[in-house]
Amino acid sequence: MSKTTTKQRVAIWGILILTVFSTVALYAGIVITQQNTTKESAELAQAQAKFDENVKTQQAKVDARVAEEITPKVTELSNKYYPEFSNYKDSAKSFNAASVKELTTNELKEGDGSEIMSGFTDYSMYYIGWQPDGTTFDSSFDGEALTAPLAGDGSYITGWSEGVIGMKVGGIREITIPSDKAYSESGTGTEGEDGYIAPNTPLKFIVMAIPKADIVTESSISSEIPYPKGTFDLCIQSYKEYIDQYGQEIVEQYICGTYANEEE
């Protein structure tokens, strides 16, 4: 029977010891990695929780201002104009989409105020809009009341901006808009969700022009109220995975930019 030499035994023991140390080192590395991952996950969860808390704190202040500065005026205007505009609440009826080749208007009530012309913005609008199948995709109605009227600044689809030309404040008009002056080939919204308008869809609106409503918007109030200090950095931490995917600049500008408005 052959026997191992002393050198061979030393080599074998060396290999065994090296294997044991390698296994221990590998296991230790796995444990450390898991610990680091757990720590990062805990830090991320903590940052997200604090970020959400800061956002809610700011929104609560916005809501308080809205209740004080916007809601009473919206209610006052609703009480004034709902009785008349509610006559058109159920006006959405199906129509032949293929027959809508050009922009047309139908005066439902002649106004007695200023005439709306290009560049004229001294008015506000209540509205109801629907699609060829009769589905209302948006309106000023909120149950038995009206929401805040839209500003007459002309920043709407082409057919709307052109369709109100010649209308007088105080009037009510039906506007039929071909798809190329609505949302054209792009459509708008997400299919299956409320407000979705498919590509190449003509639309109908009934609009009511009223004197310009002196109402601030919630977004303008929100821009005036800063977030708690540190919210921007918390946002960056919360969206770290997006940084890895899209880059720091994209996240800072398009996702977290709003939260840079912080308290001193």
**What pLDDT does 1 receive?**
45
Q: Identify the pLDDT of residue 192.
A: 84
CA distances from 134 to 18, 23, 68, 89 (A): 78, 71, 37, 12
Domain range annotation of the chain = 41-70+216-264, 84-215
Q: Which helix (H) or strand (E) holds 71?
A: helix 71-85
User: Which 3 state secondary structure label does DSSP give 139?
Assistant: strand
DSSP structural state of residue 125: E
What pLDDT, on the 0 to 100 scale, is given for residue 212? Answer: 95
Kindly state the tokens that stand for 264: 């001193």
pLDDT value of residue 3: 53
Backbone phi, psi, residue 229, to 5°? -55, 135
Question: Which of the following CATH numbers is that of domain 84-215: 3.40.50.720, 3.10.50.40, 3.40.640.10, 3.40.50.300?
Answer: 3.10.50.40
From residue 106, alpha-carbon distances to 75, 150, 199 in Å are: 29, 21, 25
User: What pLDDT is recorded for position 240?
Assistant: 84
Helix (H, G, I), strand (E, B) or coil at 147: coil
What Å distances lie between residue 83 and 15, 141, 166, CA to CA? Answer: 92, 12, 25
Dist CA 80 CA 210 (whole Å)? 11
> What's residue 126's pLDDT?
98
pLDDT above 70: percentage of residues in the chain: 85
Query: What stretch of H or E contains 18?
Result: helix 6-69
- Sequence letter at residue 225: I
Closest CA to 196 of 244, 129, 141: 129
Residues 6+ apart with CB under 8 A from 153: 121
The closest alpha carbon to 167, from 241, 98, 84, 106, belongs to 106
**Helix and strand totals (H; E) in the chain:** 7, 6
State the residue for tokens 């689809």. Answer: 157
Q: Collect the ranges in the chain with pLDDT lower than 70.
A: 1-37, 39, 154
Helix (H, G, I), strand (E, B) or coil at 10: helix
- Among the listed residues 183, 139, 127, 188, the one whose alpha carbon sits nearest the alpha carbon of residue 159: 183
pLDDT of amino acid 28? 47
